[in-house]
Structure 1
Amino acid sequence: MCDEIKIDCCKRTDPPWESPQVIPAQIRRVDNLIFRKINQFARENGVEQATPMHGWIIEYLYRHRDAAVFQRDIEREFSITRSTVTNILQLMERKGYIERRSVPQDARLKQLVLTEEGIRFHENTIRSFHQTDDYVAGLLTEEENTELLRLLNKLRDALK
């Protein structure tokens, strides 16, 4: 087998200093380019200034806006410590994305509520993701997109 690999390697026409076009490397390159596109659309929609964790927490609050959400819910949902969540929420409050409101049954508890700015941030973030998705999907035919998703899902399932 080693002899077969050596013979096969010798038949290659690539210069020796070029790395092989292996699947993980190509996926990483494409991932980097897609993230650049996400960042471009985020800038265009005015949502590049927040951290990913802010975005995830805002998305969580948006999905649960009809329920009372407290700091402990964020701690549990994202598996992060109380002190870390406290710092994140304080910064989000200073940026105007959330408010902490007292609840009548327990003055110690503060309900987390998205502000209008937080809702706008969420909607602009989602818009950025949709724009990126539409842009990337538009680079391939419908059949190619279907096949790419099928293959990526197959790889993901096999790598779990």
Structure 2
Amino acid sequence: MYRCDHNECCGHSNDRVGAEIGMLHNLLRRQMACMTEKSANSANVTGMQAMIVHHLILREKEGDLFQKDIESAFQMRRSTATGILQLMEQHGILRREPVAHDGRLKRLVLTDRARAMDERITERMVQMEQILRRGITEEELNNWFAVSEKIRSNLEQYQGNLCREGQKKW
């Protein structure tokens, strides 16, 4: 079986950016889900739901929040956001309320139950941030954020184009 070393086929070394980001993503999501589920355990809430609760609490001072805000903040598809928010609504974590200026729009409103979970969720997220930053200097973090922003920009530039069948804009 032929195994590509990436130097010959695409000019890259074995240190592939996408593969590394994918592995970090998986590790981080598993750990965050575990930590937030423990803090929200008694409320029967998933890790993603807990992260959404926390996000909504942090952003609610900015004004009304909608499903599209969740889609954007968590880079998720509309159908995924719909499913998660419907479950949160069924479990009494949030309500969707129409806004006066457009009856089609439904703002997301957290319940008291959701607010009660947030302190524990915040504690877990602070712990995770401390774990992630351990042994990393401010200069290294600043460099990482700069590279991360460039990668995000590269991906956003091609967003949608790469998913269309038969279209390759490389």
Is 1:46 the equivalent of 2:48? no
The aligned counterpart of 1:132 is: 128
The separation in 2 between residues aligned to 1:157 and 1:40, in whole angstroms, is: 30
In 2 relative to 1, CA 41–28 (structure 1 residues): closer, same or farther, beyond 3 Å?
same
Moved more, 121-130 or 141-150: 121-130
Is 1:31 the equivalent of 2:29? no
Cα pair 2:53 2:110 within 8 Å, conserved: no
Highest Rg: 1 or 2? 1
**What RMSD over aligned residues (CA atoms) do the two structures have, in Å?**
4.1
Instruction: Give, in angstroms, the shift of residue 24 of structure 1.
Output: 0.9
Instruction: Give, in angstroms, the shift of residue 136 of structure 1.
Output: 0.4
The separation in 1 between residues aligned to 2:27 and 2:121, in whole angstroms, is: 18
Greater RCO between the two (CA within 8 Å, min separation 6)? 1
1:114 aligns with one of 110, 115, 140:
110
The separation in 2 between residues aligned to 1:156 and 1:112, in whole angstroms, is: 27
Q: Which runs of 5+ in 1 are unaligned?
A: 10-18, 102-109
Q: Which runs of 5+ in 2 are unaligned?
A: 1-6, 72-76, 98-105, 158-170
The separation in 1 between residues aligned to 2:48 and 2:66, in whole angstroms, is: 14
2:143 partner letter: E
In 2 relative to 1, CA 141–56 (structure 1 residues): closer, same or farther, beyond 3 Å?
same
Cα pair 1:65 1:113 within 8 Å, conserved: no
Aligned residue runs from structure 1 range 10-159, under 5 A: 20-46=14-40, 49-50=45-46, 52=48, 55-56=51-52, 59-60=55-56, 63-64=59-60, 74=66, 77=69, 91-98=87-94, 113-159=109-155
The separation in 1 between residues aligned to 2:17 and 2:108, in whole angstroms, is: 43
Instruction: Give, in angstroms, the shift of residue 90 of structure 1.
Output: 6.3
Cα pair 1:98 1:113 within 8 Å, conserved: yes
Instruction: Give, in angstroms, the shift of residue 95 of structure 1.
Output: 2.4
Aligned-residue identity in percent: 22
In 2 relative to 1, CA 93–30 (structure 1 residues): closer, same or farther, beyond 3 Å?
closer
In 2 relative to 1, CA 24–59 (structure 1 residues): closer, same or farther, beyond 3 Å?
closer
In 2 relative to 1, CA 146–89 (structure 1 residues): closer, same or farther, beyond 3 Å?
closer
